[in-house]
């Protein structure tokens, strides 16, 4: 059968240096110069529920004004801070650009900028160590004592949290920009913003702005530092939420502040990764990228399995994520079931042949935990020689099947040159550290070129 590559296609917490996870057969020691491919994906993932934020609307403002009048009348000017729907926000942005004389629809005051630039829709986005949002849907409306609209102002908020996998300290940068306004706003219009984080976060509350004046086209920006109190065991989950009000001493605030959440930070100390503490965004699923140019037939074996076996392990869009298995003894037992000395016979036709298996013994998807008692019951493949350049990834780039494959096998076992097998294992070990994967944490796996 031909090669199958194309066929498949915390107060006072000290920061400690990062070190590798405890070496095992499936998370092999990381070389002094770890492969550059030991990376998490830089692609952001969206938290789909976060764009549906609740907040006062224009209808809430009208109802509040009516109640005030019935209670004795609004004797002086008042203001309402509301959240627009995404459609209303887009319409307001277009109107603001048009009022600024921009035929291209570009605002005179640009939206605030962070890692969510290009995704200014009010949703939270994240990588493993970053979470951000840009929300252009905040509006302030100013009424006189006769209930007539005197002015409006459109605002955008932006936030970005930057975490570290080897530190219990992180920063958050908050921004608010007045994108445009109509009419004459009340004197002393100012912003009040409070950030709250649950224990064990310190400080538990910060106030980047307290009635800080803001004017048309102005951007306010503030960076705060937070620390997780050193976890004693397991994980600590920290929720962060926000409160925003905009108003003036010359206008009654008819509505409560806008509030929102959607931020969760997970910290641990020597739990997910030995000898270091760190924090991640727990709902983000990172991607381990393995290039063929470095791992040759070892990478091809994985891609073949992802596309040709029913498990599709780690194949985003088709299969389910893989999940790290952290226990050393269990990993060794899994490895022995698939590749033990009495269960695998090296092939003299494969250079420095070694037993390579997928899903990894260091994942919960390993065949050894899913009904396989001997590696012979996995699908069998062997590396195919393509030359003698001295570059193993080039000389042994692909695999071909051995015997009959049904497609329903729960694993694949391959005859793969030892260096390719070992280097790929080291990269998985580096990925565990760079993504701070804990026990049962999910991850995707992508074979690249």
Give the pLDDT confidence of 20-49 residue by residue, as tens digits. Answer: 333 333 544 333 333 333 334 458 999 988
| Contact status, residue 122 vs residue 87, Cβ threshold 8 Å | no
What is the distance between the alpha carbons of residues 326 and 361, in angstroms, rounded to a whole number? 10
Q: Please, which pLDDT band fits residue 88 given cuts at 50, 70 and 90?
A: confident
What is the average pLDDT score of the chain?
87
Least confident segment among 108-112, 309-313, 323-327: 108-112
Tell me the β-bridge partners of 448: 291
| Alpha-helical regions (H) of 8-166 | 58-70, 86-99
Assess whether pLDDT exceeds 50 at residue 351: yes
Q: What is the pLDDT of residue 398?
A: 98
Q: Report DSSP letters for 130-157, one per residue.
A: EEEEEEEEEEEEEE-TTS-EEEEEEEEE
Assess whether pLDDT exceeds 70 at residue 388: yes
Assess whether pLDDT exceeds 80 at residue 5: no
What is the distance between the alpha carbons of residues 200 and 267, in angstroms, rounded to a whole number? 10
Under DSSP, is residue 427 helix (H, G, I), strand (E, B) or coil? helix
Assess whether pLDDT exceeds 90 at residue 70: no
Q: How far is CA 326 from CA 395, 409, 441, in A?
A: 33, 24, 10
Q: Please, which pLDDT band fits residue 343 given cuts at 50, 70 and 90?
A: very high
CB atoms within 10 A of CB 281: 23
Structure tokens at 74: 């609004």
Q: What's the whole-number mean pLDDT along residues 314-332?
A: 96
Q: Please, which pLDDT band fits residue 97 given cuts at 50, 70 and 90?
A: confident
Handedness of CA 167, 37, 118, 49 (dihedral sign): negative
Specify the pTM: 0.86
| Contact status, residue 301 vs residue 396, Cβ threshold 8 Å | no
Q: What is the pLDDT of residue 26?
A: 54
Q: What is the pLDDT of residue 109?
A: 83
What is the distance between the alpha carbons of residues 377 and 412, in angstroms, rounded to a whole number? 9
What is the distance between the alpha carbons of residues 35 and 26, in angstroms, rounded to a whole number? 16
Q: What is the pLDDT of residue 52?
A: 66
Q: What is the pLDDT of residue 253?
A: 92
What is the distance between the alpha carbons of residues 236 and 267, in angstroms, rounded to a whole number? 5
Q: What is the pLDDT of residue 20?
A: 30
Q: What is the pLDDT of residue 95?
A: 79
Q: What percent of the chain has pLDDT over 70?
A: 87
Assess whether pLDDT exceeds 90 at residue 359: yes
What would the pLDDT profile of 259-296 be if each residue is shown by its tens digit?
Answer: 999 999 999 999 999 889 999 999 999 999 999 999 99
Assess whether pLDDT exceeds 90 at residue 102: no
CB atoms within 10 A of CB 72: 7
Structure tokens at 24: 């095992």
Query: Helix 292-308 and helix 418-434: axis angle, to 10°?
Result: 80
- Is 351 exposed, middle or buried (CB count within 10 Å of its CB: 0-12, 13-18, 19+)? middle
Assess whether pLDDT exceeds 90 at residue 85: no
Assess whether pLDDT exceeds 60 at residue 179: yes
| Alpha-helical regions (H) of 309-417 | 328-339, 392-395
Residues 6 or more apart in contact with residue 93 via CB below 8 angstroms: 105, 107, 136, 154, 179
Under DSSP, is residue 289 helix (H, G, I), strand (E, B) or coil? strand
- Higher-scoring residue by pLDDT: 169, 2: 169
Assess whether pLDDT exceeds 80 at residue 11: no
Q: What is the pLDDT of residue 33?
A: 31
Q: What is the pLDDT of residue 6?
A: 31
Render the burial of 231-264: b for 16+ CB within 10 Å, e for the rest: beeeebebebebbbbbbbeebbebbebbebebbb
| Alpha-helical regions (H) of 276-434 | 292-308, 328-339, 392-395, 418-434
Q: What's the whole-number mean pLDDT along residues 226-247?
A: 92
Q: Please, which pLDDT band fits residue 251 given cuts at 50, 70 and 90?
A: very high
| Contact status, residue 379 vs residue 4, Cβ threshold 8 Å | no
- DSSP symbol at 356: E
Q: What is the pLDDT of residue 365?
A: 98
Strand-strand pairing, 45-47 and 124-127? antiparallel
What is the distance between the alpha carbons of residues 1 and 401, in angstroms, rounded to a whole number? 7
- Higher-scoring residue by pLDDT: 75, 212: 212
Q: What is the pLDDT of residue 199?
A: 84
Query: What is the C-alpha radius of gyration for the chain, rounded to an integer number of angstroms?
Result: 28
Question: Token pair 């019935």 is at which residue?
Answer: 70
| Contact status, residue 409 vs residue 355, Cβ threshold 8 Å | no
């Amino acid at each position: 059968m031909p090669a199958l590559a194309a066929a498949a296609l915390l107060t006072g917490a000290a920061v400690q240096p990062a070190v590798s996870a405890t070496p095992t057969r499936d998370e092999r020691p990381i070389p002094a110069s770890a492969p550059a491919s030991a990376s998490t994906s830089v692609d952001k993932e969206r938290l789909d529920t976060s764009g549906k934020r609740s907040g006062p609307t224009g209808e809430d403002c009208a109802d509040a004004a009516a109640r005030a009048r019935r209670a004795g009348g609004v004797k002086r000017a008042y203001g309402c801070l509301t959240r627009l729907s995404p459609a209303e926000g887009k319409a307001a942005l277009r109107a603001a650009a048009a009022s600024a004389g921009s035929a291209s629809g570009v605002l005179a005051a640009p939206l605030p900028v962070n890692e969510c630039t290009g995704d200014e829709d009010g949703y939270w986005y994240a990588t493993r160590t970053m979470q951000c949002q840009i929300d252009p849907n905040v509006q302030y409306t100013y009424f006189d004592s006769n209930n007539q609209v005197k002015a409006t102002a459109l605002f955008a908020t932006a936030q970005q949290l930057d975490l570290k996998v080897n530190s219990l300290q992180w920063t958050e940068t908050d921004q608010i920009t007045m994108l445009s306004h109509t009419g004459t706003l009340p004197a002393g219009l100012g912003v009040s913003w409070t950030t709250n984080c649950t224990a064990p976060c310190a400080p538990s509350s910060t106030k980047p702005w307290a009635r800080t004046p803001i004017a048309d086209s102005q951007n306010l920006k503030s960076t705060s530092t937070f620390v997780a109190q050193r976890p004693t065991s397991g994980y600590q989950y920290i929720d962060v939420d926000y409160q925003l009000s905009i108003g003036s001493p010359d206008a009654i605030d008819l509505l409560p502040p806008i509030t929102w959440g959607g931020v969760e930070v997970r910290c641990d100390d020597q739990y997910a990764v030995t000898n270091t503490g760190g924090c991640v965004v727990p709902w983000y699923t990172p991607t381990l990228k393995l290039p063929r140019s470095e791992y040759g037939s070892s990478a091809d074996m994985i891609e073949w399995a992802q596309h040709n076996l029913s498990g599709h392990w780690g194949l985003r869009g088709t299969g389910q994520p893989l999940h790290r298995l952290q226990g050393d003894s269990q990993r060794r037992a899994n490895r022995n079931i698939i590749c033990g000395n009495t269960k695998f016979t090296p092939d003299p036709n494969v250079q420095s042949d070694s037993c390579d298996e997928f899903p990894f013994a260091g994942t919960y998807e390993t065949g050894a935990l899913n009904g396989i008692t001997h590696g012979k019951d996995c699908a069998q493949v062997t590396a195919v020689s393509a030359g003698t350049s001295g570059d193993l990834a080039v000389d042994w780039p692909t695999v071909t099947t051995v015997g009959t494959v049904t497609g329903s096998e729960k694993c694949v076992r391959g005859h793969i040159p030892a260096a390719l097998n070992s280097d790929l294992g080291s990269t998985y070990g580096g990925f565990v550290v760079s993504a701070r994967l804990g026990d049962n944490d999910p991850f995707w796996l992508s074979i690249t070129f």
